[in-house]
C-alpha cells in the first residue's frame, strides 16, 4: 500500500530540497491530480510481453509518460515518485513498454506527456536503420509539451537490439537522477521467424537517493529490469536449453557483466541506433563490459545444473546498499561487529534444472572426483589491521607437499596454480574476524562450489512418494553454498576444464574484503607446464582507504609493487585481472622508460586464447574492466626499465609496476 506518508517521507522532502529539476518544482506545488497520479505503482517489466496491438505488418502502441511510485527494492520497501512510461490504461513500467516486432514492421506510437509541467524529450522512437531523407538532418528525438501528445510512425527493418529513452531535464544521455528510468527496449526480430525465447535485460541506474555521502558511487543504485537484487526475478532454464540474452545498458556507467559458471558467446554489440553482428571468433567471454548506452546480445547452452549469478562485477554496482533513500550504513558497527553484506543491485540468478523427462535426478548425486592435490587456504588478519581499515592476507600451501607458510601476504592473495583437468580440493579456512565466501571467478565447475552463499547450488529435488531409497547414500551437504563463519571452513572441489588466467575473490562484504586482500589470481596450466619465472600474474585491486581509492589502485597488493625482473630475449606472460571497485574502464599500458609504448602480443581474454591471427605485436595498451582477465606476451629484446601502468580512461596514472629487463 502506498500511503500519503510514503509520499511525504523524509526521502521525498530531501529529494525535493536537493533537486534542481523542473518537474520536482511542480511537485512542491503539487495539485490533487499529481498526488492521485503518484499513488500509482510501477510494475517491474521483465520484457517478456510486447506492448501494443499487432497487425499484419504493423504494431500500434498507445503510451504515456507519467509520475508513479517506483519501489526498486521490492513492494514493501521505500519507493520514490518518478516519471516513467506506461501503456495507456495499464500499470506504469520500469523499464518502459517493450516495443518488439519482426523486421519490416511499421510502428505507430502515440505518446502522451502526462508529467505535470515538464517538457518531455524522447529519443530513439525512429526507424532502424535511421532514415535521413536527403537535404534533412537526422534527429533522434521528439519534444512533447506537458499535457499534449504526438503520434510517431517509423519502420523497424534491421534486426537487432535497440532502445528509446526520455528526459525531463533536456540533458543528453547523462541521466542519473529523477528521469533516469525513462527507458524502454526496442527489439527487431528476424522477419519470418518465430519470436525466439530470449530474455531482454535493461540496466538502469538511480543516484541521489542518500544525502550523506559525497562519493557518487556510494549513492548509485543499479537495477536490472526495474529491480535491484534480490528483489528482481530469477531466470529459469532446463538443462540443455540454448539461452539467448539481450542486454541494454540504459544507464550512464559502464558495467562489467559477469556470468558465473558459463562462458557466453557475444553475437552482437551496439547502441540505441545500430547493432553490429560480430564476425570474430574471440567473443567467448565470462565478463562482458557494456559501455554506457551500449547493448550486446549473447548466447550459451545451460548445460550445467544449479544456480548461477549474473551480475555486474563492479562491487560499487552489485554490493548490498541501503533501501532507496537510505545509505547502507558503515560496514562496522559501533561495537566493532562487522556487517555482512551479500550482493545487491545489478544482479540476477539463473536457475538451471533438470529437463522434463530427465530422470538422472533419481541417481545419487555424483561425488566429486577424488582430489589429486589438496590445498589449504588460510584467510587471516594481518598486523595493523583495524575494524575500519582491514588488512587481510592469505597463506596458501599444498597439503603434504609444502609446509604451511608463516606469512600471509598483504592485500593480495598468492596465485593458485592448477593443472587443467586435475581435480583438487581447496580447504578455505576463515580466520578473519568476519564471515566470508570465496568465488572462483571464471572457473567452470559445479554450482555448489561456485561459492556464492545461499545462491550457488540447487534446491534438493524431493523423490516421489514410495520411491525406493537410492542405492548409495551420499554424504549430506547443505543445498546451497554456505557463508563461512569466522573460525569455520569450507572445502571446495575444483576441476578446471580449461587453461588460462582466472581469479578467486571474496563475494560477501566484497569491496571491503577484496580491498583488504581477499583476492588473488588462479592460473590453470597444462600439467606441470607452469614456470613462475616466465609468468607474471598482475592483480589490480582498490585500496581500503576511501581517499586513496579515488586516486590509486593496488597492483599485486601495493601502490609501490616490487619490480619484476626479466631476462632479455625471454618470452614472458603478463596475466592481468581487474578486481577494483568502480573502475570498469581501467586501462593497462606497458611503456618504455621514455614513455613510448612497448610492444606486446595479446594471448588470451578471460582464459580463452585469442585467434592466432590476432597474436601480433602491437602497442601495449588495453582496456580491462572489472572481472576481466587479459593475457599478453612480452618479449623484450633490449634491456632497460619498463613500467606497467594502470590508468583511468582520462589518462591519470593510478598505479605502476616496474619491470627491469637485463
Ligand atoms: Cu556495474
What is the per-residue pLDDT across 557-609, written as a single tens digit (0 to 9) for each? 999 999 999 999 999 999 999 999 889 999 999 999 999 999 999 999 999 99
Domain assignment present for residue 457? The answer is no
626: DSSP letter = T
pLDDT higher than 50, residue 5: no
Tell me, letter by letter, the H, E, C secondary structure of 641-657. EEEEEEECCCCCEEEEE
Domain assignment present for residue 336? The answer is no
Determine phi and psi for 24, rounding to 5 degrees: -70, -40
Q: Are 142 and 214 within one domain? A: yes
In what helix (H) or strand (E) does residue 5 lie, and over which residues does it extend? helix 4-7
Cα 244 to averaged position of ligand 1 atoms, centre (Å)? 21
Domain assignment present for residue 567? The answer is yes
pLDDT at position 14 is 35
Domain assignment present for residue 304? The answer is yes
Q: Is 161 helix (H, G, I), strand (E, B) or coil?
A: strand
Mean pLDDT of the chain: 87
Q: Are 599 and 622 within one domain? A: yes
pLDDT higher than 70, residue 406: yes
Cα 172 to averaged position of ligand 1 atoms, centre (Å)? 20
Cα 126 to averaged position of ligand 1 atoms, centre (Å)? 28
Cα 549 to averaged position of ligand 1 atoms, centre (Å)? 17
Cα 346 to averaged position of ligand 1 atoms, centre (Å)? 7
In what helix (H) or strand (E) does residue 549 lie, and over which residues does it extend? helix 546-551
Cα 329 to averaged position of ligand 1 atoms, centre (Å)? 20
pLDDT at position 469 is 65
Domain assignment present for residue 423? The answer is yes
Cell numbers of 293, please? 548506452
d(CA 625, CA 287): 8
For the entire predicted model, the pTM comes to 0.90
Q: What is the CATH number of the domain that holds 310?
A: 2.60.40.420
Cα 222 to averaged position of ligand 1 atoms, centre (Å)? 7
pLDDT higher than 80, residue 517: yes
pLDDT higher than 80, residue 484: yes
Q: Are 87 and 59 within one domain? A: yes
Cα 240 to averaged position of ligand 1 atoms, centre (Å)? 29
Cα 53 to averaged position of ligand 1 atoms, centre (Å)? 35
CB 41 within 8 A of CB 68: yes
Q: Are 273 and 379 within one domain? A: no
Q: Are 57 and 152 within one domain? A: yes
In the chain, pLDDT over 70 holds for what percent of residues?
Answer: 88
pLDDT at position 459 is 75
d(CA 203, CA 286): 18
d(CA 315, CA 411): 17
24-28, 80-84, 406-410 — which one is most confidently predicted on average?
80-84
Q: Are 384 and 414 within one domain? A: yes
| Across 18-27, 59-68, 636-645, least confident range | 18-27
Q: Are 314 and 232 within one domain? A: yes
**573 to each of 538, 644, 659, how far by Cα in Å?**
10, 13, 13
Q: Are 545 and 657 within one domain? A: yes
Cα 532 to averaged position of ligand 1 atoms, centre (Å)? 33
Q: Is 334 helix (H, G, I), strand (E, B) or coil?
A: coil
Cα 476 to averaged position of ligand 1 atoms, centre (Å)? 37
For residue 164, give every residue at least 6 positions away whose Cβ sits within 8 Å of its Cβ, in sequence order, or none. 96, 99, 122, 123, 124, 125, 183, 184, 186, 272
pLDDT at position 33 is 43
In the chain, pLDDT over 90 holds for what percent of residues?
Answer: 69
The more confidently predicted of residues 340 and 288 is 288
Q: Residue 99: which of 153, 151, 61, 43 has the closest Cα?
A: 61
pLDDT higher than 70, residue 7: no
Cα 579 to averaged position of ligand 1 atoms, centre (Å)? 12
In what helix (H) or strand (E) does residue 7 lie, and over which residues does it extend? helix 4-7
Q: Are 419 and 489 within one domain? A: yes
Cα 296 to averaged position of ligand 1 atoms, centre (Å)? 15
Q: Which residues surround ligand 1, an ion (CB under 5 A)?
A: 255, 312, 314, 317
| Across 25-34, 156-165, 565-574, 651-660, least confident range | 25-34
pLDDT at position 6 is 34
Q: How many CB atoms lie within 10 A of CB 365?
A: 18
**469 to each of 168, 366, 383, 463, 475, how far by Cα in Å?**
63, 16, 52, 9, 14
Cα 256 to averaged position of ligand 1 atoms, centre (Å)? 6
Cell numbers of 646, please? 594502470
pLDDT at position 615 is 94
Confidence of residue 358 (pLDDT cuts 50, 70, 90): confident
pLDDT at position 11 is 36
Domain assignment present for residue 591? The answer is yes
| Edge-to-edge order in the sheet of strand 347-353 | 235-238, 347-353, 306-312, 255-259, 287-290
Q: Kindly report, residue by residue over 605-626, the tens digit of the pLDDT.
A: 999 999 898 999 999 999 999 9
Instruction: Based on DSSP, count helices (H) and strands (E) in the chain, helices before strands.
Output: 7, 44
Q: Residue 450: which of 584, 245, 310 has the closest Cα?
A: 310
pLDDT at position 17 is 33
pLDDT at position 2 is 34
Q: How many CB atoms lie within 10 A of CB 165?
A: 28
Q: How many CB atoms lie within 10 A of CB 493?
A: 17
Domain assignment present for residue 652? The answer is yes
User: What is the longest distance spanned by two Cα atoms in the chain?
Assistant: 78
Strands, E assignment, 420-571:
424-431, 438-441, 489-494, 500-506, 519-525, 535-541, 554-555, 564-566
CB 579 within 8 A of CB 553: no
**Residue for cell digits 509539451?**
145
Q: Are 514 and 484 within one domain? A: yes
Cα 494 to averaged position of ligand 1 atoms, centre (Å)? 28
**67 to each of 33, 251, 280, how far by Cα in Å?**
10, 20, 44
Q: What's the total number of domains in the chain? A: 3
Q: Are 177 and 207 within one domain? A: yes
Q: How many CB atoms lie within 10 A of CB 147?
A: 11
Q: Are 604 and 644 within one domain? A: yes
Cα 318 to averaged position of ligand 1 atoms, centre (Å)? 7
62: DSSP letter = E
Q: Kindly report, residue by residue over 265-282, the tens digit of the pLDDT.
A: 999 999 999 998 887 655
**11 to each of 213, 325, 378, 436, 569, how far by Cα in Å?**
15, 6, 44, 33, 63
pLDDT higher than 60, residue 10: no
Confidence of residue 462 (pLDDT cuts 50, 70, 90): low
Structural domain boundaries, residue 395? 369-442+476-530
d(CA 127, CA 74): 35
Domain assignment present for residue 467? The answer is no
pLDDT higher than 80, residue 442: yes
CB 525 within 8 A of CB 549: no
**348 to each of 136, 226, 281, 493, how far by Cα in Å?**
44, 12, 27, 24
Amino acid at each position: 500500500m502506498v500511503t500519503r506518508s510514503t509520499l511525504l517521507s523524509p526521502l521525498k522532502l530531501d529529494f525535493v530540497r536537493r533537486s534542481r529539476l523542473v518537474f520536482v518544482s511542480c511537485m512542491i506545488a503539487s495539485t490533487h491530480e499529481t498526488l492521485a497520479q503518484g499513488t500509482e505503482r510501477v510494475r517491474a517489466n521483465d520484457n517478456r510481453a510486447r506492448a501494443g496491438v499487432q497487425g499484419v505488418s504493423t504494431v500500434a502502441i498507445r503510451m504515456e509518460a507519467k509520475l508513479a511510485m517506483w519501489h526498486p527494492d521490492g513492494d514493501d520497501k521505500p519507493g520514490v515518485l518518478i516519471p516513467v512510461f506506461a501503456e495507456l490504461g495499464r500499470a506504469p513500467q520500469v523499464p518502459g513498454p517493450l516495443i518488439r516486432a519482426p523486421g519490416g514492421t511499421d510502428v505507430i506510437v502515440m505518446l502522451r506527456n502526462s508529467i505535470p509541467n515538464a517538457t518531455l524529450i524522447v529519443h530513439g522512437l525512429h526507424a532502424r536503420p535511421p532514415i535521413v531523407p536527403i537535404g534533412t538532418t537526422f534527429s533522434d528525438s521528439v519534444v512533447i509539451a506537458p499535457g499534449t501528445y504526438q503520434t510517431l510512425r517509423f519502420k523497424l527493418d534491421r534486426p537487432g537490439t535497440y532502445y528509446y529513452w526520455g528526459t525531463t531535464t533536456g540533458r543528453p544521455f547523462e541521466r542519473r537522477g529523477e528521469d533516469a528510468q525513462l527507458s524502454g527496449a526496442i527489439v527487431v526480430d528476424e522477419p519470418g521467424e518465430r519470436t525466439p525465447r530470449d530474455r531482454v535485460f535493461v540496466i538502469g541506474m538511480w543516484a541521489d537517493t542518500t544525502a550523506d555521502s559525497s562519493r557518487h558511487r556510494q549513492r548509485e543504485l543499479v537495477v536490472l529490469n526495474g529491480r535491484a537484487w534480490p528483489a528482481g526475478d530469477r531466470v529459469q532454464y532446463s538443462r540443455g536449453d540454448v539461452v539467448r540474452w539481450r542486454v541494454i545498458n540504459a544507464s550512464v556507467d559502464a558495467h562489467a557483466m559477469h556470468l558465473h559458471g558459463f562462458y557466453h558467446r557475444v553475437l552482437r554489440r551496439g547502441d540505441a541506433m545500430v547493432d553490429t553482428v560480430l564476425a570474430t571468433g574471440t567473443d567467448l567471454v565470462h565478463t562482458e563490459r557494456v559501455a554506457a548506452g551500449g547493448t550486446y546480445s549473447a548466447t550459451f547452452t545451460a548445460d550445467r545444473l544449479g544456480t548461477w549469478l549474473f551480475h555486474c562485477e563492479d562491487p560499487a554496482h552489485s554490493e548490498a546498499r541501503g533501501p532507496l533513500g537510505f545509505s547502507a550504513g558503515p560496514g562496522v558497527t559501533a561495537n566493532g561487529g562487522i556487517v555482512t553484506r551479500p550482493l545487491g543491485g545489478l544482479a540476477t540468478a539463473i536457475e538451471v534444472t533438470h529437463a522434463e523427462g530427465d530422470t538422472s535426478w533419481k541417481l545419487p548425486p555424483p561425488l566429486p572426483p577424488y582430489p589429486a592435490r589438496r590445498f589449504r587456504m588460510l584467510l587471516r588478519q594481518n598486523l595493523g589491521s583495524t575494524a575500519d581499515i582491514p588488512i587481510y592476507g592469505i597463506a596458501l600451501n599444498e597439503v603434504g607437499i609444502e609446509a604451511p607458510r608463516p606469512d600471509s601476504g598483504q592485500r593480495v592473495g598468492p596465485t593458485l596454480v592448477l593443472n587443467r583437468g586435475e581435480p583438487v580440493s581447496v580447504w578455505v579456512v576463515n580466520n578473519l574476524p568476519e564471515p566470508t565466501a570465496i568465488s572462483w571467478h571464471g572457473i567452470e565447475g559445479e554450482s555448489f562450489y561456485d561459492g556464492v552463499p545461499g545462491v550457488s547450488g540447487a534446491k534438493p529435488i524431493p523423490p516421489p512418494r514410495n520411491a525406493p531409497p537410492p542405492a548409495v547414500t551420499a554424504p549430506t551437504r547443505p543445498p546451497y553454498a554456505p557463508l563461512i563463519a569466522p573460525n569455520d571452513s569450507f572445502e571446495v572441489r575444483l576441476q578446471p576444464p580449461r587453461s588460462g588466467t582466472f581469479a578467486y575473490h571474496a563475494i560477501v562484504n566484497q569491496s571491503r574484503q577484496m580491498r583488504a586482500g581477499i583476492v588473488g589470481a588462479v592460473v590453470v596450466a597444462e600439467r606441470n607446464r607452469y614456470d613462475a619465472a616466465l609468468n607474471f600474474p598482475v592483480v589490480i585491486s582498490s585500496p581500503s582507504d576511501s581517499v586513496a581509492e579515488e586516486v590509486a589502485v593496488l597492483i599485486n597488493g601495493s601502490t609501490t609493487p616490487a619490480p619484476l625482473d626479466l631476462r632479455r630475449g625471454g618470452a614472458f606472460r603478463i596475466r592481468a585481472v581487474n578486481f577494483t571497485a568502480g573502475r570498469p574502464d581501467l586501462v593497462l599500458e606497458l611503456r618504455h622508460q621514455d614513455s613510448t609504448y612497448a610492444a606486446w602480443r595479446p594471448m588470451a581474454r578471460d582464459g580463452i586464447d585469442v585467434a592466432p591471427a590476432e597474436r601480433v605485436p602491437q602497442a601495449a595498451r588495453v582496456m580491462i574492466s572489472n572481472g576481466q582477465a587479459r593475457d599478453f606476451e612480452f618479449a623484450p629484446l633490449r634491456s632497460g626499465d619498463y613500467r606497467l601502468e594502470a590508468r583511468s580512461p582520462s589518462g591519470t596514472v593510478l598505479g605502476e609496476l616496474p619491470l627491469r629487463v637485463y
